[in-house]
Chain A
Amino acid sequence: MLKKLSNFTIKSLLTFSGAFAGITILFISIFLFKEGLGFFKKPAVEEGYSLYVNSKNRVEDFNSKRIKEIFDHEITNWSELGGDDVDILLFRMDDIFNYYSDEELGEEYEFLPEKLAEVIKEEEGIIAFVPHLYSPAEYSGVKELSVPNITPSDFFAGRDWLPTATPSPLFGTLPMLLGTLLVSFFAILFALPLGLGVAIYLSELAPEAIRKFLKPIIELLAGIPSVVYGFFGLVVLAPLVQKTFNLPVGETALTGSLILAIMALPTIISIAEDALRNTPRAMKEASLALGATHWQTIYRVIIPYSKSGISAAVVLGIGRAIGETMAVLMVTGNAALIPTSLFDPVRTIPATIAAELGEAPSGGAHYQALFLLGAILFIITLFISIAAEMISKKKNYKDM
C-alpha cells in the first residue's frame, strides 16, 4: 500500500516536472500581458496630474501628440485645433508665483486651488498642468480636460519615445521596432554568407583534424557571455567604426549589427553544418558520377537537399539576434530615435527594456509600456521558435 502511494507520488512529481516548462511559459505570458495591457488603461497625461483650461475653451480633441506639440510651442494658437483665435498660454505649477506671492497662497498652499482658478478664469487661452492635489476643478470658469487613454496607435505607430516628458509622456515604439529590425537584418546579412560558408567548409571540405579543431572554437565563441561581447564592441569595434567611417561616435547600428552577427554565427554554423552533413552519400556520388565537380554538387544537390535545415538555422539565428540585450545595449548608442542610416545610433526593444526598467516607477505608464514591449518580444521569439521547429520538421523529400 505504501509502495503504491510512493509510486504515485513519484510519478506525479515527475509529471509535474515534465510539464513545468509549459507552466512557466504560461506564467510568463500571464504576467507580461497583465502588466502590459494595463498600459492601455492609462491616460495620456502624466499620472497624478491633470490639464485644466478656461471653461470657454471649446476644443475637445486631445491626445498625447497634441499635448506634446502644445507644450513644445509647436502649436501656438487654439484656432489650430479648431477653437477660437486665442493664443495658447502655457501654465505649469511654478508659474503661479508670477501671479501671487507666497503669503497669498497660504502657508500650506491651502489657497492655491482657489488662486489657480482665478488665473484660469482670467486667461482665456490658458492650459494649466497641475497636480490633482491642487485641482481647481470645483471652481467656476474652470474646465478639466478629459484626456483619452493611450491608444494602441500611439504605441505602435508613434514616432517618438519620450517616456519621461511632461505633461504628456510619449510612448511611440516605432524607433525601437525599426531599430530592432535594422540591426537584426544587417546582422543576418553579414552572418549568413559567413556562417553558411564555414558550415560548407566544415561539412564538405575540412580534413578531420581541422574539424576537430574548429568545432570547439565555434562552441567557445557561442559560450562567450553577451556582456563580454558588448564590452569588446564598446572598446574595440566602436572606435574602429568611428575611425573608418569618420563618424562623431562609433556607437551605431552598424557596430551593433557586426557584434550581433558574430553572436549569431555559432548558431547558424552548427545547425547548417548538421543539415548539410545529413545529405545521403549516394546522392553526392550520383552527382559526381555524372561529371559534376565537388562545388557543383554542393550548390546543385547538397544545399537544395538541406534547404529546410539551413532555413531553420537562419530563423534561429534571427531569433538570437532579435532577443540579444546586453551587447546591443552597450554598443548601439542610446538614442531612441528613428534610424535613417546604418551610421545612426539606435535602440532595440530588449535594450530599451534593460536600460529603462530600473527607473520606471512601478505600476506607472512607463513601467507598463516596458512590460508591453517585453510581451511583444516574447511573442516574436515564441513565433520564431515555433516557425523554426516547423521548418526543420518539414521534410521536403522522402527519405530513401
Chain B
Amino acid sequence: MNKRTKQKFAFFFFRLFSIIIVGILIAILGFIAVNGIKVINWEFLSSMPKEGMTEGGIFPAIVGTCYLIIGSMIFAVPLGVMAAIYTVEYAGNGKFVRFIRMMTNNLASIPSIVFGLFGMALFVKGLNFGDSIIAGSLTLGLLALPLIIRTSEEALKAVPESYRTGSYALGATKLQTIRKVVFPCALPNILTGIILSISRVSGETAPILFTVAAYFLPSLPDSIFSQAMALPYHLYVLATSGTDIEASRPMAYGTALVLVVIVLFFNLTATLLRQKLSKNMKNK
C-alpha cells in the first residue's frame, strides 16, 4: 500500500470518527427530546407531583434548582471574582501565586462526589445546618468556584495592559483603576464564565445527594434551612428507584428534557456571548 493510500485510509477514519461524535450527540439529545416532549405541558411544569411520582408535575424540582443556582452563585461569584482579581492584578509571579494557581486547578479536578462528602461533613453535620438549601448551595458553590476563578482570570488578563498604564498615568490608584477601567472591561467575559458555571451547577447530582436533596416534599421549601427537591436528583430517583419505575418513566423523560434544556440554554448563551465578545475585541 503506497503512502497516498495509507493517507486516504487514515483520513477517512478520522472523518468517520467526527461524524460518530456528532451522531452520539444527536442520539442522546434527540432521544430525550422525542420522548420528553410528549410529557411537557404547562401542568407538568407548574404543578406538584402526584400519585407517587407517576402523575402531576415537577414544579418543586424546578424551584429547588433555581434556589440552588442562586444560592451557589451568591457564594461563589464574589469569592471567585475577588480571587481572580487578586491573582491577576495584585500578586506577582512568585511561588505563592503559582501555588494558588495550582491549588485552583486541583480544586477543579476534584470529583463531584468528594464535594458532596465534604459538604455533608462540614455543612450538614459539622456546622449543623442539616440537609438544607444553604448546605447544598455552599457545596455547589465550592464546585463552581474554580470555574469562576479560571474564567474571571482569563477575562481580566484579556484587558490590554495599555488601559491600566493609561489610567495610572492619569494619577489613578490601583484600586480605582480596577474599579473603573479593568473590571468593567472584563465584565462581559466574567459574566460568560458565571453563566457557564450556572449551567454546570444546575446539572450536578452528587454534591446535592447528601446535602439538600429530597425526593418528595409536600410543599415548597420555606427557608434556607429546609430541604429542597432538585431536577438532577429528581431524574436520578425517578429513573432508578421511584415507587413504580415503569410508570414514572414518562415523568423521567420529561424531567430529563427540562434539565437538558436548562443546562444547554445556559451553555449556549455563554458560548454565543463569548463568540460575540471576541469579535468585538478583535475590532478594537
Contact = CB atoms under 8 A, between A and B. Distances in A.
A15 interface: yes
A32 B209 contact: no
Given A31-B118, A362-B125, A381 B109 contact: yes
A51 B243 CA distance: 39
Interface string B110-134: 1111101110111001100000000
Contact of A225 (B91, B114, B117, B259): B259
Nearest to A234: B239
A177 to B, nearest CB: 15
Contacts of B281: none
Interface in A384-400: 384-386, 388-389
A295 B7 contact: yes
Contacts of B107: 21, 24-25
Contacts of B102: 386, 389
Nearest to B21: A198
Interface centre among A15, A27, A227, A385 (most CB of B within 10 A): A227
Given A19-B100, A21-B104, A295-B6, A325 B86 contact: no
A109 interface: no
Nearest to B22: A217
B242 interface: no
B238 to A, nearest CB: 9
Contact of A28 (B112, B118, B209): B118
Interface stretch (B38-46, B50-58, B162-170, B200-208): B200-208
Interface string B170-209: 0000010000000000000000000000011011111001
A83 interface: no
B110 A381 contact: yes
Chain B interface, DSSP helix/strand/loop, else mixed:
helix
Contacts of B79: 17, 20
Nearest to A384: B109
A14 B90 contact: yes
Contact of B14 (A7, A200, A330): A200
Interface residues of B, number: 83
A25 B109 CA distance: 11
Given A32-B121, A227-B203, A324 B106 contact: no
B70 interface: no
Contact of A374 (B17, B113, B240): B113
Given A35-B121, A218-B21, A232-B31, A296 B3 contact: yes
A100 interface: no
Contacts of A316: 109
Contacts of B122: 27, 31
B232 A232 contact: no
A320 to B, nearest CB: 8
Contacts of A354: 113, 116, 206, 209
B109 A357 contact: no
B103 A25 contact: yes
A228 B32 CA distance: 9
Interface string B132-171: 0000000000100110010000000000000000000000
A22 B100 contact: yes
Interface centre among B32, B102, B236, B260 (most CB of A within 10 A): B236
Chain A interface, DSSP helix/strand/loop, else mixed:
helix
A14 B85 contact: yes
B126 to A, nearest CB: 8
Contact of B11 (A31, A205, A322, A324): A205
Contact of B18 (A18, A206, A388): A206
A269 B13 CA distance: 15
B212 interface: no
A381 B102 CA distance: 14
A330 B232 CA distance: 13
Interface in A1-47: 7, 10-11, 13-15, 17-22, 24-25, 27-28, 31-32, 35
Contacts of A324: 111
Given A224-B28, A235-B239, A374-B114, A385 B106 contact: yes
B239 A231 contact: yes
Contacts of A11: 90
A21 B4 contact: no
B17 A201 contact: yes
A21 B3 contact: no
A224 B261 CA distance: 10
A163 interface: no
Nearest to A34: B121
Interface of A: 7, 10-11, 13-15, 17-22, 24-25, 27-28, 31-32, 35, 193-194, 197-198, 200-202, 205-206, 214, 216-221, 223-232, 234-236, 262, 265, 269, 293-296, 316, 319, 322-326, 330, 350, 353-354, 357-358, 362, 370-371, 374, 377-378, 381-382, 384-386, 388-389
Given A21-B107, A378-B110, 9 more contacts: A21-B106, A22-B100, A198-B18, A217-B25, A219-B271, A225-B263, A296-B3, A381-B109, A382-B109
12 contacts: A14-B86, A15-B90, A17-B80, A27-B118, A31-B118, A31-B126, A221-B24, A231-B252, A293-B7, A370-B117, A377-B113, A381-B110
Query: Which 5 pairs show the lowest CB-CB distances between chains A and B?
Result: A225-B203, A323-B111, A18-B86, A295-B7, A17-B82
